[in-house]
Chain A
Amino acid sequence: MLLVPCPHCGPRNSADMSYQGEASSRPDPSSATPAQWRDYLYMEHNPAGWLKENWYCSSGCRRFFSVERHTVTSEFREPPLPGSKTAEPGAGTDRQGGGS
């Protein structure tokens, strides 16, 4: 079981958390095309490498946070400061992933 670095509670079993999937930004609902919106809803990039993903510390501090995890080694990178699932607010439609 993964040891997930919650920025508030410290390392916690992933069973204490609720996985929220790959970090992605919500498209502007007023201008998104069906293709863009459904890409946001359903498509995961699932790279073999570093991936920014969201977790919810459901049995702990109940905060949402983003971390980067290497999907091959399950290694976590330095968690961002607490606060938001998008480490860089307004990061547009960038989807983390690809390359390792």
Chain B
Amino acid sequence: MIRRLEPQSGEVIDRETPLKFTWNSKKYVGYAGDTIASALLANNQQVFSRSMKYHRPRGVLTADYWDPNTTVQVGTEPNVRGAHRLLEADMKVSAQNAWPSLDLDVKAANGLFGRFLTAGFYYKTFIKPQRLWPLYEKVLARFAPGGVVDLNTPHGYHDKRYAHPDVVVAGGGPAGLAAAISAAKAGMSVMLVEQNHHLGGHLRWGTDQDRETADDLEAAARDAGVEILTDSAVTGRYDDNWIAISQRDHPGVVERLIKARAKTLVVAAGLVERPYVFSGNDLPGVMLSGAVRRLINMYAVRPGNHAVVLTANAEGDAAVADLERVGVEVARVVDARAGETISKATGSSKQLGSVTLADGSTVKADLLVTAAGWTAPTSLLNMSGDRPSYDPAAARFFPTALPDNVIATGGLVGDGSLDELIAHGISSGELAAQRAAAVKHRLRSTVTRAQNPKGPEPPVQQDRRIGLSRAPHPELYRSDTHGMVDFSEDVSSKDLVNAAAEGFDSVELVKRFTTATMGPSQGKLETVNTVAVLAEARGETIEEVGTTVWRPPYAPISLGALAGRVFEPVRVSSLHEWHTANNMTPILAGQWIRPEHYGDPGAEVANVRTNVGIIDVTPLGKLDLRGPDVPKLLNLLYTNKWSKLPIGRVRYGMMCAEDGVVLDDGVTGRLGEDHYLMTTTSSGAGQIWQWVEMWLQTEHPDWEVHVTPVTTGFTSINIAGPKSRELLMRLVDDVDLSAEAFEYMNVRTGTIAGVPDCFMWRIGFTGELSFEVHVPAGFGLHVWEQLIERGADLGVGPFGLEAQRIMRLEKGHFIVGQDTDGLTKAPTTGLRALIKLDKDDFAGKPELEWALGPEAPELPVLVAITPTDPRLVPDEACQILREGTTEIVGRITSSRFSPSLQRSICLGQVTPEFAAAGTMLTVRLCDGSDTTARVMEHHAHFDPEGVRLRG
């Protein structure tokens, strides 16, 4: 560690804990507390990366979170911020974006041809001819920047948290800490979010007294009960202070996304030091004053040996003092306040060699420090609706108008002594607390509770804080040479000037054309320089040019954190354990895990057609409807008529949305005088419940109807097959199940296997004699097991979703959402007789009236289709074409091989021209070949007369 200094009083490294690590496979040692960058620099490693486009060697620039040049690969993790990530034992660190090695990067040839690689180069060069794009893409991909993603890397654990703090403080510098303390002392719950590993902001690399103050503030904040998050960032502020926080200091979690609803937000983001634009400003050895001060005071690293310092402010002066104190020779101090500046920097490919001043003189140096001014990171203020304005006297942007629930403090607002900053923070925290209290009062008053707050809502507390002054600062953006503006994206000031000359002269256009400000620093280092260079090119002021809008995220957030932990509830029926123990192959249907089959769906079909099978249809939507006005509701929701449904009868109905599109279908039965049970499709259960509520609550609140969803209150079992009656009779004593007493499309209530209050419906989706029973869910397994046990001699067996789907297709029953889509109006289904236009009203009636009227457009027709080749099953969604053309006239919506008929069966939608029975169709298969198929006479391929169903 040849660049490591003697112990510094404020150092954050632990010299008792050396850590071994590797850098590009070579072994080095650093200390606990080091960042990767400080450890490498201590070991005299100066080149950390190659730049994105020109592959120029890059060294430390800011030595903090925003450093654009120290992005490295750590093990299998790409794009790690080397100047922020703390060193760990045995870390394997390597350079990114360099091939074959950091020292010898062949892609640096880009730099030689740099003048051809100007902004828009890729857009302009590789656009034509278009057929060559795949080739271009292949070559360009090799030049793409970034680390290496290892697809086998285990996913780390990510999480989410919802928080409801009264006050969120973004920024843990002196003003932010002071605000957090005073808000907490006023009784508010406070969350303080700091991006760095240490609290105290710039005090951490200041004097001993500065650090003492920081320690005191930190201790006071902890005493006051402030929840402190370090290595975390407020990444976004949204409506009503919905605040996104990316937290990286939570044990056991790689990154946690906190969604906080704060009553007030205090923004104390401080200031970000701005690079100066000049030729060679990206040479390793050119650093910002803050970087030098952090390296010396926090990490005890000597940043160079012979320094030139360009200073325009006190921070630059302090850097000079720090350098001199640790024995770095300061060859020249260039004072911008006296009108002095530098022109350019030159050196070898890997190291700064000399600095040319504006007066033409040259000074040899391996370190050039610039203190050119500050950028106010006003992102969170922009996200709150503010458009900060530029003050040329202070050479930075300041907030203008903020909503009442967002309060800015610290360097964002102005300058002052440490005491003044802290005082402003304290008064800001008090203001935040008062306004938060008012918001709490309002929120709590909106709901009737026993402990409602008393009295009227307090008025919005006026802002009576003593403001901070603005220190004068020279406007220092670009020297007389061109240099890098965006280090992450490799955009130079020359690129910006050229872009303006090409007509991209609005700040929003120049940003998108050159990609300046769009890299990982999110504009913190680049935005104001971009604006300044553009202003210069346009001959206008910075104020006239304006800035781009800062949008979320404030700092990049990982996709893992956004995804969080897997949180997707699944639903299972009360029979799930039985299915699992009996060879179920599961399938996910919506949220439900259902048996697709139990081994052989073909055999299950055969068993239902010859013996009897049972299927778990619990997900079927069930709504219990009670009240005298239920028939009115049914008449309104279904297209057919319901006024005269006798007790004990069941009717099929189709529902349409107001645009006439088929929404759902199912059967509804009348159980008693004012008692009905509606069933919906399994996937439509939730939606239809909401649909029913909508009509009752908004259009007909006067109707007396109670709706209760009972989908999971019952276990639903369909018993299907010629022997189903015989089986059910063995379990039921109190209901006459004979064909005469219990006809098709009837419902009865009775006792099954000793379980009272079960509903039995004689309906059938499979086309066989079948009974659908709804058993109180707690007894579902009992009844299921009794059916299996008592029907053993009848050959009873379970069947799954696949067998049911085959049988319903054999029978020609369509499935809403499978054979219909978001454009399928009711007449397409062929169920014209169910559309009763003589009713006064029902959902979708006007559209159906027009769809069936004289000026109706041609609607597709749902038809049964059989391919000429009986073994050929076209994939679902295969197109149907007009023969000999590519004109699409329809598509296959369902297809299966029918075990009962031993041939391929389909449903499909075709234009009316092709809908007549016997029409030959051309079906284009997925492999591009064509086959022929014939339109059938009935939807039902199997038992079209329904003899079995009604048996």
Contact = CB atoms under 8 A, between A and B. Distances in A.
Given A1-B239, A41-B659, A83-B701, A29 B841 contact: yes
Contact of A85 (B658, B697, B841, B850): B697
B447 interface: yes
B846 A32 contact: yes
B420 interface: no
A93 interface: no
Given A1-B238, A64-B698, A30 B840 contact: yes
Contacts of A26: 658, 699
Interface in B293-323: none
Interface in B661-699: 690, 693-694, 697-699
B697 A18 contact: no
Contact of B850 (A10, A34, A58): A34
A18 B690 contact: yes
A3 B443 CA distance: 10
A32 B697 CA distance: 23
Contacts of B242: 1, 3, 13
25 contacts: A1-B259, A2-B239, A3-B261, A5-B446, A9-B447, A10-B446, A11-B446, A13-B242, A20-B694, A26-B658, A29-B841, A29-B845, A30-B841, A34-B846, A34-B850, A56-B693, A58-B690, A62-B690, A64-B698, A74-B239, A74-B240, A83-B701, A84-B697, A85-B698, A86-B698
Contacts of B840: 30
Interface string A1-42: 111010001110100001010000010011010100100110
A95 interface: no
Given A26-B699, A84-B698, A1 B845 contact: no
A2 B690 CA distance: 22
Most buried by B among A3, A11, A20, A29: A29
B415 interface: no
A32 B850 CA distance: 11
A84 B701 contact: yes
B284 to A, nearest CB: 45
Contacts of A2: 239-240
Interface size class of B (residues with CB under 8 A): 20 to 34
B162 to A, nearest CB: 9
Contacts of B693: 56, 62, 64
Contacts of B698: 54, 64, 84-86
Contacts of A62: 690, 693
Nearest to B709: A62
A29 B656 CA distance: 14
B391 interface: no
Interface of B: 238-240, 242, 259, 261, 443, 446-447, 658-659, 690, 693-694, 697-699, 701, 840-841, 845-847, 850
Max chain A C-beta neighbours (<10 A), residue from B239, B694, B846: B846
A26 B847 CA distance: 13
A2 B242 CA distance: 8
Contacts of A34: 846, 850
Contacts of A1: 238-240, 242, 259
Contacts of B240: 1-3, 74
Contacts of A58: 690
Nearest to A2: B239
Interface string A70-97: 0000100000000111100000000000
A29 B846 contact: yes
A13 B690 CA distance: 19
Nearest to B445: A10
B447 A10 contact: yes
Contacts of B701: 83-84
B241 to A, nearest CB: 9
A18 to B, nearest CB: 7
Nearest to B699: A26
Nearest to A66: B698
Interface size class of A (residues with CB under 8 A): 20 to 34
A37 B694 CA distance: 19
A54 B694 CA distance: 11
A1 to B, nearest CB: 4
Contacts of B699: 26
Given A37-B846, A85-B698, 15 more contacts: A1-B238, A1-B239, A1-B242, A3-B239, A10-B443, A11-B443, A20-B694, A29-B845, A37-B847, A54-B698, A56-B693, A62-B690, A64-B693, A64-B697, A74-B239
Contact of B690 (A3, A11, A56, A86): A56
A38 B611 CA distance: 52
Question: Which of B259, B693, B698 counts the most chain A CB atoms within 10 A?
Answer: B698
Contacts of A11: 443, 446
A86 B697 CA distance: 10
Nearest to B443: A11
Contacts of A84: 697-698, 701
A15 B252 CA distance: 28
A56 B689 CA distance: 12
A74 B241 CA distance: 12
Nearest to B658: A41
Contacts of B238: 1
A40 B699 CA distance: 15
B607 to A, nearest CB: 42
Contacts of B239: 1-3, 74
B687 to A, nearest CB: 10
Contact of B697 (A9, A10, A63): A63
A56 B697 CA distance: 10
Nearest to B839: A29
A3 to B, nearest CB: 4
B567 to A, nearest CB: 13
A37 to B, nearest CB: 5
A39 B336 CA distance: 65
A72 to B, nearest CB: 10
B705 to A, nearest CB: 15
A56 to B, nearest CB: 7
A52 to B, nearest CB: 13
B876 to A, nearest CB: 30
A31 to B, nearest CB: 9
Nearest to B844: A29
A99 B126 CA distance: 49
Contacts of B841: 29-30
A89 to B, nearest CB: 8
Which 4 pairs across A and B sit closest by C-beta, in order of nearness? A10-B447, A85-B698, A3-B240, A1-B242
A45 to B, nearest CB: 18
Contacts of A13: 242, 261
A13 B443 CA distance: 13
A56 B692 CA distance: 13
A69 B541 CA distance: 39
A56 B694 contact: yes
A83 B690 CA distance: 15
Contacts of A18: 690
A54 B699 CA distance: 13
A30 B840 CA distance: 7
Contacts of A9: 447
A26 B658 CA distance: 10
Chain B CB count within 10 A is highest, among A2, A20, A32, A41, for: A41
A34 B853 CA distance: 12
B915 to A, nearest CB: 25
B215 to A, nearest CB: 37
Contacts of B443: 10-11
Nearest to A23: B698
Contacts of A40: 658
Contacts of B845: 29
Nearest to A74: B239
Contacts of B658: 26, 40-41
Nearest to A85: B698
Contacts of A63: 697
B257 to A, nearest CB: 13
A58 B693 CA distance: 11
B781 to A, nearest CB: 30
A37 B850 CA distance: 11
